[in-house]
Amino acid sequence: MAGEAFGQAADRLVVDVWSDVMCPFCYMGDTLLEQALEKFPHASGVDVRYHSFLLMPQLTDDDAPVNPAELLSAKHGMPLEQAQALNDQVTERAKQIGLDYHFERAQAVSTRTAHQLSHFAAAQGKQHEMVQSLFKAYFTDGLNVADHQVLADLAADVGLDRDAALSALASDEFAEAVEADLEQARQYGITGVPFFVFAGKYAVSGAQPVEAFVQALTKSWDETVGSAETVGTTAAGAGR
């Protein structure tokens, strides 16, 4: 799996993450990766980049918000009670890693605009904070993450300029960046998220245990940055 489309710095390990704001396992996966980085000795040399994926591409900006259980029930033709029970199981799993889900007040909407905000934040070095804020807004606070005013408030909360965020969303400034992510996902054959690509080589799918992420970080670091450092050291020694 090549990573040329997004670039890899020789002295840093890049982790590319495809996820969606309304994906419960993406919020878990992001949290578990963060916990793995806390255990990884080279965490300061790791860059995590977030890419857009649409879990419900059929939703549009014109659609009214709907509760996730109702959406799940309609999509899979299951009783509403069964859908709610499934969400309860996901809520309990999230709780085990410190996340607070409230599906009963979540509002399922198109997330294209939220993804544009993620790219806006990335341009100013605040993407991780923005993605975390979007997850919390959807799963914990029950906010409408398609609403421009809500999104602008979230941008301000992480230290970004509110008016600049509103302007970027109104102009669709980052719409092409979202589409580029979606196209890259299709080229990679990504059909579900979260999906993690380490150093453009190694893929991890789903909200895996912390240990699995630590292993992926270690392997990709040793084979990319670590080996480059070894070569550089050897070359420097040979030149003395």
- How do residues 18-38 score in pLDDT, each as one tens digit? 999 999 999 999 999 999 999
Contact between 207 and 28 (Cβ < 8 Å) = yes
| Entry pTM | 0.91
Which pLDDT band, with edges at 50, 70 and 90, does 234 fall under?
very low
Which pLDDT band, with edges at 50, 70 and 90, does 236 fall under?
very low
Mean pLDDT for the chain overall: 92
Q: Kindly report, residue by residue over 64-102, the tens digit of the pLDDT.
A: 999 999 999 998 999 999 999 999 999 999 999 999 999
pLDDT at 2: 36
Q: Kindly report, residue by residue over 168-202, the tens digit of the pLDDT.
A: 999 999 999 999 999 999 999 999 999 999 999 99
Reply yes or no on whether the pLDDT at 63 is more than 90.
yes
Domain boundaries, the chain: 13-238
Which pLDDT band, with edges at 50, 70 and 90, does 205 fall under?
very high
Which pLDDT band, with edges at 50, 70 and 90, does 1 fall under?
very low
CATH for the stretch 13-238: 3.40.30.10
pLDDT at 232: 47
Give percent above pLDDT 90 in the chain. Answer: 88
Residue 163 φ/ψ region, left for φ over 0, alpha for ψ in the -120 to 50 degree band, beta for the rest? alpha
pLDDT at 226: 78
Sheet with strand 13-19: strands edge to edge: 46-52, 13-19, 195-198, 202-205
How many H-runs (helices) and E-runs (strands) does the chain carry? 10, 4
Which pLDDT band, with edges at 50, 70 and 90, does 7 fall under?
low
Reply yes or no on whether the pLDDT at 235 is more than 50.
no
Contact between 143 and 109 (Cβ < 8 Å) = no
Q: Pseudo-torsion of CA 88, 207, 64, 76, nearest 10°? A: -70
| E-strand stretches of the chain | 13-19, 46-52, 195-198, 202-205
Which pLDDT band, with edges at 50, 70 and 90, does 9 fall under?
low
